[in-house]
Every structure is written in structure tokens, then in C-alpha cells.
Structure 1
């Protein structure tokens, strides 16, 4: 990390179509919250997609054997 950024108390952040100077701690909190929300949404979409793949295979007349690979769970992150 840039040493100059570490020593700053306020940083510029782009919110929509404006740049605002805010306390660094507030910006870090906002970014972490946004990242957490995005991670949850991505996880939900992945689960929905797995279900839709199974449904699609069934609609195509399959027995579900092809879509089993999409239902695997990771052993570790």
C-alpha cells in the first residue's frame, strides 16, 4: 500500500457522478459492506443457476446425470 495513502485521514471517493472527500475509515467500511453484499448476491445467483441447469436438463428429456456436476460442493474455499 502507498505510504502516502496510509498517512491520510481523508480520501477522495466517487459516489455516483460526484467525488467527495471522506474519512478513510468510513470509505473502508463502505467498501467492505458493498463487497459483502456483492458476495452474497453472487452466491445466491450461483445457487439459482444450479437449479435452472437441472430444470433445463429435465425439460430437454435428460435424467439429471449431466447436471450432477453443477451440484458439487467445494471442499475448501
Structure 2
């Protein structure tokens, strides 16, 4: 049935759009985390202490500055890889969304060409 096809198409468009927005939001969140790591690395370089305090989960841990820097650098590389993977997938997802949005269910062309009645036509249509 044609109504089922229209509903399935609308559902597919909605799912593709949600997935695209979720990926974009994830990129923003990862970028914030990457910036926080940069700030932490910069802050540790300014200090002369051999060890630093860091928050791991729900507790503070004191660790050697070299280990902390190495941990942050590994985390930076992982975050960069995740951001790159998400950005590489975005064009494909945008293309898919555009393809779904441009797909017209049968009969939609006729509705797209309809124009509203102007004032004179409306008056003529409502006269008994």
C-alpha cells in the first residue's frame, strides 16, 4: 500500500537525520575533551612538580608527571582517530539523507504541484 511506503520513507529519513545529528554532537563532545586534554598538558608543563593529581572516575590519584603526560597523549591520539572516523563517515551519511529526502513516493508529485486558492477562487467556491 502507498501509505505504508510513505511512512517507511518518512521513518528512514528521520532515522538518517538522527544518526547524522548524533555523529555531529559526538564530534563536538570529543573536541571538547581533546581541548581539555590540551589544557591539562599545558598546565602540567608549567609546573615543576614531579607528580600530579588527576581525577580517575570518582577518586583523585597522584601519579608521576611523565606517566600522566603519556596517558594524555595516548588519549589525544585515540580521540583524534575517533573524530577522523566520524568526519570521514559524515559525507556518506549526508548523501544518504539527501537521497532519502529527494525520493518522492508515488502521488507526491501531484500534491507538490497544488497551489492554494486565491481570494477570488475561495469566494466562488463558498457561494451556494
TM-score of the pair, normalised by structure 2:
0.43
Partner of 2:74: 33
Q: Distance in 2 between matches of 1:56 and 1:46?
A: 16
Q: Distance in 2 between matches of 1:13 and 1:50?
A: 38
- Listed as ranges, the gaps of 5+ residues in structure 2 are 1-41, 104-128
Partner of 2:126: none
Q: CA RMSD in A?
A: 2.1
Pairwise CA distance, 1:34: 0.4
Identify which of structures 1 and 2 has the higher relative contact order when contacts are C-alpha pairs closer than 8 Å and 6+ apart.
Answer: 2
Partner of 1:54: 95
Q: Where is the strand percentage greater, Structure 1 or Structure 2?
A: 1
TM-score of the pair, normalised by structure 1:
0.69
Q: Where is the helix percentage greater, Structure 1 or Structure 2?
A: 2
Given the alignment, which residue of 59, 63, 83 partners 1:42? 83
Pairwise CA distance, 1:59: 1.3
Larger Rg: 2
After superposition, residues 1-77 of structure 1 pair within 5 angstroms as 5=47, 7-61=48-102
- Cα displacement string for residues 21-69 of structure 1 (whole angstroms, at most 9, x for unaligned residues): 100000000001001100110111111121100011111227xxxxxxx
Q: How many residues align?
A: 61
